[in-house]
């Protein structure tokens, strides 16, 4: 069957030497584009360092911090100095604020509520979090109430004693839902909370007359 002529049928095929020359030209083009990109990145990174000291704020948000289960065993076996690795610590050291989600009450009070997974961390371990650079700890999650309301109040107090700022919980809904002023310079920065009680927490944490948790972004 005769094939349809291509619109490029009149173009002479490339000889091996010409093809090699085109390939080399393309490689050189890609190389110079790569050099240009690196120069641009270096310029913006250098500019970013200058801007960071003048008009920027570096905030690190971590994931769940669980000081129970396997983490508890690791702490008891290896000590507290192994909680944060060197590369992560370097990142922490370059940041203005470090905000963590404390996924367990840290208290000596042992009053486990009736639920499937119940956690508890030791309050003295909070000092090591502060030493690593943590500045704020979120309590608005489904495990802060694991040891009851008194333990949550005690955790709130223990975080302050360790030199950090707790947020996401309070003596009442209004207190728990107050926006957190993270910084005022170089411009105001807030963490906004939304109040909600998940169904599995609602049975443990009724609106009256107990402490109400404010559930923020559960990162």
> What pLDDT shows up at residue 23?
39
Number of domains in the chain: 1
Range of the domain at 134: 58-213
Would you say residue 22 lies in a domain? no
Residue ranges of the chain whose pLDDT lies below 50: 2-12, 14-51, 195, 199, 202-212, 214-219
Q: Which residues pair with 166 in a beta bridge?
A: 137
- Domain contains 40: no
Angle formed at CA 69 by CA 100 and CA 212, multiple of 5 degrees: 50
Contact status, residue 75 vs residue 125, Cβ threshold 8 Å:
yes
Q: What is the spatial distance between Cα 124 and Cα 146, in angstroms, rounded to a whole number? A: 18
Is residue 50 in a domain?
no
- H or E segment to which residue 11 belongs: none
Residue 49's pLDDT is what?
Answer: 43
Whether 219 is covered by a domain: the verdict is no
pLDDT for the residue numbered 187: 85
The verdict on residue 73 lying in a domain is: yes
Q: Is residue 89 in some structural domain?
A: yes
CA 178 to chain centre: 21
Q: What is the pLDDT of residue 196?
A: 56
Query: Is 83 inside any structural domain?
Result: yes
Q: What is the pLDDT at residue 178?
A: 82
DSSP string covering 164-208, please? -EEESEESSHHHHTPPEEEE-SSS-EEE-------HHHHTTS-SS
- Kindly tell me the sign of the dihedral angle through the C-alpha atoms of 10, 15, 18, 23: positive
Assigned token pair, 131:
């030493």
Residue 45 lies in a domain: no
Could you give the CA distance from residue 65 to residue 70 in angstroms, rounded to a whole number? 12
| pLDDT tens, residue by residue, 97-130 | 999 999 999 999 999 998 889 999 999 999 999 9
CB 139 within 8 A of CB 160: no
Contact predicate 178/170, CB 8 Å: yes
């Amino acid at each position: 069957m005769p094939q349809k002529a291509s619109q490029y049928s009149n173009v002479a095929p490339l000889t091996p030497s010409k093809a090699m020359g085109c390939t080399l030209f393309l490689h050189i083009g890609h190389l110079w584009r790569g050099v240009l990109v690196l120069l641009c990145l270096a310029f913006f990174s250098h500019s970013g360092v200058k801007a960071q000291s003048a008009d920027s704020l570096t905030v690190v948000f971590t994931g769940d911090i669980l000081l129970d289960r396997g983490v508890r065993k690791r702490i008891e076996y290896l000590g507290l100095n192994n909680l944060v690795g060197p590369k992560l610590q370097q990142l922490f050291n370059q940041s203005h604020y470090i905000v963590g989600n404390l996924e367990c009450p840290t208290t000596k009070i042992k009053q486990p509520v009736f639920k499937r997974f119940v956690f508890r961390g030791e309050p003295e371990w909070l000092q090591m979090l502060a030493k690593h650079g943590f500045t704020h700890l979120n309590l608005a999650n489904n495990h802060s109430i694991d040891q009851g309301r008194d333990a949550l109040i005690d955790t709130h107090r223990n975080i302050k004693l360790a030199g950090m700022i707790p947020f996401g919980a309070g003596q009442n809904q209004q207190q728990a839902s107050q926006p957190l002023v993270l910084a005022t310079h170089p411009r105001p920065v807030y963490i906004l909370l939304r109040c909600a009680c998940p169904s599995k927490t609602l049975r443990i944490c009724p609106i009256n007359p107990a402490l109400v948790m404010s559930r923020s972004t559960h990162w």
